[in-house]
Amino acid sequence: MQKINLTAIIPEELANKRLDQALAILFPDYSRARLQSWIKAGQVLVDGTLLKAKEKVSADQEVIIAATIVSNENWRAQPIELNIAYEDDDILVINKPAGLVVHPGAGTPDSTLLNALLHHCPELNTIPRGGIIHRLDKDTSGLLVITKTLPAHTKLVADLQERKISREYEAVVNGVMTAGGTVDAPIARHPKDRVRMAVVLSGKPAITHYRVLEKFRTHTHVKVNLETGRTHQIRVHMAHIHYPIVGDPVYGGRLKLPKGCNEELRTTLQKFKRQALHARRLEFAHPISGEIMTFKAKLPTDMQQLITDLQEDTLNHRS
C-alpha cells in the first residue's frame, strides 16, 4: 500500500468551483478520476467535512487528503530479463523484444512485460496498469516508456492524449511504394471478426504517416510515425492501403516470394512469422523535469537479416 497525504487552502480564484474541479487544479500530479475516487471513498476532508465531488467549495477552506493506494494483488512479479534503455526515479524506458506480451490478459495471465517490471520495480503495483501508458503488440519489438510514480503517470498519460509523445517505427512491407504519404482512416473492431481491427467509418480517428527508406524488387522498407495510437494501427493501415507488413499473421495475407529469389531470401521470408515492425525512436518531455528526452533502438537481428537479404536480391536482379 502507498499512503498519500496532501493539504491545501482553496484560493479565491477557485471559489464556487466543484470540489473535484478544484482538486484537479490544486493537485495536478493526480488524475481527476483518481481524485474523484478518493472523494467517494471519504478520503478528502474540506474544513473537516466530507463533501461530494459536485459540491462547491469556498475561498480559504482547508482541504486534507489522506488516501491509500492499494496494490493490485492479482499481479505477480516474475524474474524475466529486461532490456532497460534508461531509468530514473520517475520513468523507465524498455526495449521490448518480439514475442513478449505487454500486459496480462485472456490467455496470457503471466510471463508478460508487466510481470517482469514488478520484479524489477515492486512499487509499480500501486500505479495504474503497472505504469504502462502505451503498448506494443506481442510480436512488435522496440521502445516503451513506463511511469514509476503517480505524478509521472498523470503527466505522460495527458501528453500521450494530447499527441505530445513522438513514436517512430520501422517496417518492411509487401509491395513497392512509389512515395510516402499519410493514412487518415478510422479504426474499430472488425464487424465480423472480433479478434481483428479494421478501418470502419464509425471507428475512432487514426492517422499514420509513412516515408520510404529503401525500395526492393517486391518490398519496401519504411519509416512510420503515429499521430494516434489505436490497437494494431500501423498493421491495419498498411494493409488498408495494400502494403501489408511482412510476416503479419493477421493482416499480412498470403506469403508472396519475389520471382527468381535466391534460397537465402526464400528461407528468410518463409520463416519470418511475426510482423516486421519495430518501435525504433521515442521522444517526450520528462514528466517531472520537462527535459526533452530522445531514445533510439536499433533494428533487431531478424529485421536486419530480412533487409540484408532483400538488398542482396535487388542487387542480383539489376539489369
- Where in the sequence numbering do the catalytic residues fall? 137
Closest CA to 144 of 162, 127, 156, 126: 156
- Within the chain, how many helices (H) and strands (E) appear? 7, 14
Closest CA to 149 of 119, 170, 125: 125
Q: Can you list the alpha helix ranges (DSSP code H) found in the chain? A: 19-26, 32-40, 113-120, 150-161, 233-240, 263-271, 301-316
Instruction: Note whether 245 and 171 are within 8 A (CB).
Output: yes
Q: What are phi and psi of 74, to 5 degrees?
A: -80, -15
Strand ranges for 161-206 from DSSP E? 166-174, 181-184, 187-189, 197-199
* Locus of grid cell 499519410: 182
Query: Cell 509499480 sits at which residue?
Result: 124
Which residues are paired to 226 by β-bridges? 208
C-alpha cell belonging to residue 74:
492479482
SS3 content of the chain, % helix, strand, coil (to 5): 25, 30, 45
Do 275 and 140 form a contact (C-beta atoms < 8 A)?
yes
